[in-house]
Amino acid sequence: MSCVGVDIGGTNTKLVRIEDGEDPVARHEVATPREVEAYEHTLAGAVAAVARGGSPIEAVGFSVAGLVDERRTIVQAPNLPFFEGVDVAAPLRQRDPEPALVVENDVNAAIVGEQEWGAGRGCRDLCMLSLGTGVGGGVIVGGRLQRGSHGLAGELGHIVLDHDGPLCTCGLPGHVESYLSTAAIVERGRRALREAGDRGAILRRHVDREGEASPRVLAEAAREGCPVARDVLAASGRWLGLACANLTHTLQPDRILVGGGVSQAGELLLEPAREEYEARLMRAVRGSVPIVRAELGVDGAAIGAAVLARRILDERPA
């Protein structure tokens, strides 16, 4: 049995194929088409490419950077507006035999990937925050991905940390995303640099070359010893720690995973996050739930989508 995961991202679409009981065996990547007709054509070719040399495809899972409701429709996708309202699995529905199909939000898919092959192995209860252009989330309880009553559980980027805080891209104030998206961190870096004087020399040199204080640039400057870059990542980490404390007071999962591009700053982000996190937990809860970096990186969502597809087959009555 072979299952394919298709992760439709704002820039690239990644595919993986998994075979029964093996680690993911094939990967393929294409530019995400910008309109629906091109998408159908591209999808067919990409699925054929990733399927080559494997057993017949029995199930395909799609992962999308957007809100996917209980009817598996994409109801909101700021980075993929041409996919809103579209059934991304449609081009595969005419196949004979029709594969099992599922559509899922990308971080919901990613947390399932981590549960199966990554930092969440062996965990029954997991939360994940994915820090990138937006801040996505996923929740697993009792081993199962939680979709909520209408498919929209796990929107952990939209938890309030300050009722009166800066506006989120969704238009509401003080959400996790408004402190921890790439744009929020870039802006934090810009402000810090403006006030830094000579302390910011290393970071300034990087920013002059790269254009902005992206999380990657901040991490590079911090590793070269720049105290300002280090402070900006630490301040970001403290917001992350606060967000994680809310998750632990709500669900006390086995672990909280942190993924997404911003997480590449690694311990520069996670160490201050853990410190703030433990300080923000009630005494009796401290030390009970570790914050761990996700392991599968950019492939996580595609892998998770393939796993979700396989689970449909596993759960079908024999």
Q: Does 196 bind a second copy (CB under 8 A)?
A: no
Strand ranges, E, within 9-99: 12-19, 26-31, 57-64, 67-68, 74-76
Interface residue with a second copy, options 26, 49, 67, 312 (CB under 8 A):
67
Q: Smaller CB distance to a second copy: residue 92 or 135?
A: 135
H/E segment holding residue 145: strand 144-145
Interface residue with a second copy, options 69, 87, 212, 271 (CB under 8 A):
69
CB 183 within 8 A of CB 214: no
Among 180, 280, 177, 192, which residue's Cα sits nearest to residue 230?
192
What are the C-alpha distances in Å from 277 to residues 73, 106, 194, 228, 270?
35, 25, 29, 22, 10
Count other Cβ atoms within 10 Å, centred on residue 79.
16
Strand order in the sheet with 57-64: 26-31, 12-19, 2-8, 57-64, 100-105
Q: Smaller CB distance to a second copy: residue 5 or 136?
A: 136
Q: Does 55 bind a second copy (CB under 8 A)?
A: no
Smallest distance, a second copy to C-beta of residue 256, A: 11
Q: Smaller CB distance to a second copy: residue 49 or 152?
A: 152
How many chain residues interact with a second copy (CB under 8 A)?
47
Smallest distance, a second copy to C-beta of residue 127, A: 8
Please enumerate in sequence order all residues whose Cβ is within 8 A of that of 97, keeping only pairs 6 or more positions apart, or say none.
none
Q: Does 280 bind a second copy (CB under 8 A)?
A: yes
Strand ranges, E, within 200-313: 255-259, 291-293
H/E segment holding residue 2: strand 2-8
| Interaction residues for a second copy, span 116-155 (CB under 8 A) | 125, 137, 139, 141-142, 144, 146-155
Q: Does 106 bind a second copy (CB under 8 A)?
A: no
Q: Does 283 bind a second copy (CB under 8 A)?
A: yes
Residues 218-237: x where in contact with a second copy by CB under 8 A, - otherwise, as a string: --------------------
Among 148, 147, 143, 173, which residue's Cα sits nearest to residue 161?
173
Structure tokens at 87: 């059934």
Interface residue with a second copy, options 253, 260, 300, 304 (CB under 8 A):
253
| Interaction residues for a second copy, span 150-169 (CB under 8 A) | 150-156, 158-164
CB 89 within 8 A of CB 32: no
Q: Smaller CB distance to a second copy: residue 30 or 75?
A: 75
Q: Smaller CB distance to a second copy: residue 5 or 138?
A: 138
Q: Does 172 bind a second copy (CB under 8 A)?
A: yes
| Interaction residues for a second copy, span 287-306 (CB under 8 A) | 288-289
Which residues lie near a second copy (CB under 8 A)? 67, 69, 75-76, 125, 137, 139, 141-142, 144, 146-156, 158-164, 170, 172, 242, 245-247, 249-254, 280, 282-285, 288-289
